Amino acid sequence: MINRKGVHIANKWVKTVATLRDPSVAPHVPDTRRMNRTTLANMLNRYGMIYVKPVAGTCGRGVMRIERTPGQRLPYSCHAGLSKKRFSSIDKLYGHVSRMKRRRPYLAQRGVHLLKTNGRRFDIRVMVQKNPAGAWEPTGVIARVAQRGKAVTNYHDGGTPVALSRLLRPKLGSNGARQAESKLKALGLRSARALARAHPKINMVGADIGLDTKLRPWIIELNTSPDPYLFRHLKDKSTHRKVMRYARALGRIPAARTAGRTRTAKRARRKR
């Protein structure tokens, strides 16, 4: 039986802990820690670039890209939205971040140097849903290209949805692009199953996966209330139809109005 209620898990730390329990998924999860001054400094020293994000947040709101570039007069930078500020010390950087996060708990995550298209970063959303048999199934893949000048790719923060094959074919060729997409679907499926073992009531997962410059996939985040309407931007409408059909069956979006009912309603309105 399909679980029609589903569950939204807002806490990114809880989701990270769950996925790290799966040895087939854990190597693809970037180092993620609860953020404080010590973890911020240590992770910048180790990785050079990190992202900090609210423990509970959606649509890329509150996400900041932070970098350390030794040897410069202002070696620390913080990129949020279209704004980028530089700082002379870790204390000044942390003071700025603290003001921006407004007492909300935050996570610090190892930064992934994402692939780019025309100078704009992109990541990939893999939709994984429970099918009518109650089994997890990857139902859609789409790339999200960041707005120029922004650090996040989210559609609701200016990102552009694009068919992944369009971005990968120039780099990998047609066969390579298909193989890469299959591997991303498989990783999305494993990550959904890993999360479901800890939270068995969930029935949809949007796995946000980034490919680094060596084409290694990294699970940036798992979303348990993913937007099924995102896939309407694909030229191949069969993917969108399937995603929507499963979402309706799971009770995650309203049932579609049939053409007959729509015509009946229109006639009724004209008679009034």
The single-letter code of the amino acid at 111 is G
Q: How confident is the model over 85-121, as pLDDT tens digits?
A: 999 999 999 999 999 998 899 999 999 999 999 999 9
Report the pLDDT value the prediction gives residue 204, as an integer from 0 to 100.
Answer: 97
Report the pLDDT value the prediction gives residue 269, as an integer from 0 to 100.
Answer: 47
Q: What is the DSSP string of 243-258?
A: HHHHHHHTTSSPPPPP
**pTM higher than 0.75, yes or no?**
yes
Helix or strand holding residue 187 (H, E): helix 164-198
- Sorted by where each begins, the domain ranges of the chain are 1-29+112-254, 31-111
SS3 of 218, please? Answer: strand
Which CATH number is associated with domain 31-111? 3.30.1490
Tell me if 1-29+112-254 shares its fold with 31-111: no
The token pair that represents 16 in the structure block: 């990270």
pLDDT band at 261 (very low <50, low <70, confident <90, very high): low
Query: Which CATH architecture fits 1-29+112-254?
Result: 2-Layer Sandwich (3.30)
Quick one: average pLDDT of 34-46? 97
Helix or strand holding residue 133 (H, E): none
Pick from 15, 205, 14: nearest CA to 125: 205
Q: How confident is the model over 55-93, as pLDDT tens digits?
A: 997 766 889 999 999 999 999 999 998 889 999 999 999
